[in-house]
Chains A and B, each alone.
Chain A
Amino acid sequence: MSTVEMVSLMIIVVLIVGWRLTWLATRVDRAHVRAERTWAALDAALVRRAERALELVLMPGIDPATALLVADAANAALDPQLSRQDRERTESDLSHLLDAIGPMLPSESSRLESERARANICRRLHNDAVATALSLRRRYSVRLLQLAGHAAEPRPFEMADGLSQPVIVRAAEN
């Protein structure tokens, strides 16, 4: 093999490796962006859920004890100062409470049910995006070349949804 052939072969190899790495970096970036965006969507959906739960308190016919419990749980979940771990706990508590009082609620609470289903969907999309990002970060080439850059490692949001699958959004809401 002549020198020219050797050199051109090396150039081709470098080009292919470079192209592969650029493509991988694009995927890593896309996965992290998706994890961030789905988190923003989940955050918003959880806030809407808690706000809908607070509306229950104003409903005619709801007993004061239930109203107090719901107001307490919803307010706890809406606290903007919560750490991630505390947020997971308070949101789960709210789910459990809503499950417990579910059968007692008047039919107008279907808006709340829809919001719960939507939060459930958003959480799945977020954790799915996080899983994709994490599996890319675990790859040897991504770690070696630090393709993830300074992007923080995303974490799944673990909470009790309290809804049975498949999720059902009441038709009346749309």
Chain B
Amino acid sequence: MTGVRGSLRVGIVCPYSFDVPGGVQNHVLGLARYLRQAGHRPYVLAPGQLGPATDELDVEGFASVGAAMPVRYNGSVARVNFGPLSAARVTRWLRKGKFDLLHIHEPITPSISLLALWAAEQPVVATFHAATPRSRSMQLAGGVLRGAIEKIDAGIAVSESARNVVVQHLGRDAVVIPNGIQFNDFARRQDLCAELVDIGRPADSGRTRLIFLGRLDEPRKGLDVLLAAVPLIMKARPHLELIVAGQGSRSLPEWCCSLGMISDETKIALLRSADIFVAPHLARESFGIVLLEAMASGAPIVASELPSFLDVLGSPRDEQRLGEVFAAGNAGALAAAVLQVLDRPDPLRVARAQQAARRYDWSVVGATVLAVYRAALSAAPARWAERRIG
């Protein structure tokens, strides 16, 4: 029972800036919201500034390490902090926070996460998000950072693929706990319907609607593959529209409509209106959170064959798989998969996918994370173990 007595001060370190949206940032906010609702006190340290509209955290619950610097890492541009000034800020935050437990995200990135891991005295839980081995840096990490890696008391990986990276490259183990979604928002909000989505042209219910969410200008999100596939699909289904939403700008064909950055409400309504949700990512997708949100909304799924997507959807040979998959980067295969779903709608599969997505709701995911906190604290030296929960 997590009463006030067992209320934990949890220091959460996020290496990526809150100035830009991202999977890890969203996960950290969702976790903070869950912890607060469960009666604990989460404190988040991250670069950048928290958006004004977030209800997940108190103002005093968030500390910034200042503006972040864009660096190329893990195949995309990450906005992170490092250097002596950041190190001093991290140490000050740790000292002032008096945390019972530290939860560090992506601990082996050159960022405040690594700095916090170095400086930590309290039990450390670390979540590994990336599913791709960065072999060179991991090898380095194996030598130089070995001591820091050994400070992690409990590792969490967001997928089996992410866990494999931890096992093979760091020689550690991790409990697999997926990222969380607000299941009820996507599955239950009856007030959010397709009419709320203004796509700048008259609503035409006759059109088959494909949906893509993600950065438009980042090649690994795979929009190019989808744009190459749509003309192939149109040969069989001329009455088709593609709606894309996400950061970045690029020139798009006439049948493609871009909504830019959208609110959560618009996203939910948009997913509800989808005939197919397409995830054409090419590589390095640590966790298919948008895939789960689409599943929770009841949209049929077509996704590329990435390990992290297969973790969610099931193997392509599995009769019970929750969506159609195709070889990543292959526009012809994407078109074939989309046509197969359109020609043979399978409402049962959509219902199964929705049920599967329920297991990723924060109520389940957050409780499992708390169980890991508890296990880490119960194995910690006495002065921390007094704070164990339950």
A interface residues with partner B (beta carbon < 8 Å): 23, 27, 30-31, 34, 37-38, 40-41, 44-45, 114, 117-118, 121-122, 124-129, 131-132, 135, 165-171, 173-174
What residues of B have a CB within 8 angstroms of the CB of A174 in the complex? 1-2, 38, 367, 370, 390
Which residues of chain A are near B364, meaning CB under 8 Å?
A: 168-171
CB distance from A123 to the nearest CB of B (A): 9
Q: Are B363 and A171 neighbours in the complex by a CB distance under 8 Å?
A: yes
Which one, B155, B176, B371, contacts A128 given CB within 8 A? B155
Q: How far is the CA of A58 from the CA of B173 in the complex (A)?
A: 37
Residues of B within 8 A of A38 (CB): 379
B160 proximity list for chain A (CB < 8 A): 165
Q: Is B359's CB within 8 Å of the partner chain A? A: yes
Which A-B residue pairs are the 10 nearest by beta carbons? Answer: A128-B173, A171-B363, A41-B379, A41-B378, A38-B379, A37-B379, A169-B367, A166-B176, A121-B375, A169-B371
> With A45-B375, A122-B378, A168-B368 given, is the CB distance from A132 to B177 under 8 Å?
no
Known contacts A41-B379, A168-B368; A125/B171 CB under 8 A = no
Given contacts A131-B173, A166-B178, A173-B367, contact A37 B381 (CB under 8 A): yes
User: Are A125 and B153 CB-contacts (below 8 A) given A37-B379, A38-B379?
Assistant: yes
Count of B interface residues, CB-CB < 8 Å: 35
**Interface check B374, CB cutoff 8 A:** yes
Q: How far is the CA of A173 from the CA of B371 in the complex (A)?
A: 11
B175 near A124 with CB under 8 A, answer yes
Q: Please report the C-alpha to C-alpha distance between residue A174 and residue B176 in the assembled complex, in whole angstroms.
A: 20
Q: Which residue from chain B places its CB closest to the CB of A136 in the assembled complex?
A: B150
Contact partners of A124 in chain B: CB under 8 A: 173-175
Question: Given the interface contacts A124-B175, A128-B173, does A117 sit within 8 Å of B371 by beta carbon?
Answer: yes
Q: Which B residues are in CB contact (< 8 Å) with A126?
A: 379
User: With A and B bound together, what is the CA distance between A121 and B147 in angstroms?
Assistant: 23
**Minimal beta-carbon separation of A46 from chain B (angstroms):** 12
Does the CB pair A169–B368 fall under 8 Å? Answer: yes
Q: In the docked arrangement, what's the CA distance between A37 and B375, Å? A: 11
Of B2, B175, B177, B367, the residue contacting A170 (CB under 8 A) is B367
Residue numbers in A under 8 Å from B154 (CB-CB): 121, 125
